[in-house]
Amino acid sequence: MPIVQYKCSKCKMVRNSYKEAKKCEQSHLPAISMRDVEYRVGAYPFRVIITFSDGEEREYIKQD
* Domain assignment of residue 63, yes or no: yes
* Domain assignment of residue 45, yes or no: yes
Cα–Cα distances (Å) from 17 to 6, 10, 27, in that order, read 6, 16, 16
* Domain assignment of residue 38, yes or no: yes
Count of the separate structural domains present in the chain: 1
The string of DSSP codes covering 3-62 is PP-EE-TTT--EESSHHHHHHHHHHSPPEEEEEEEEE-SSSSEEEEEEEETTS-EEEEE-
* Domain assignment of residue 33, yes or no: yes
- What pLDDT, in 10s, does the model give residues 3-38? 889 999 999 999 999 999 999 999 999 999 999 889
38: containing domain: 29-64
The model scores a pTM over 0.75: no
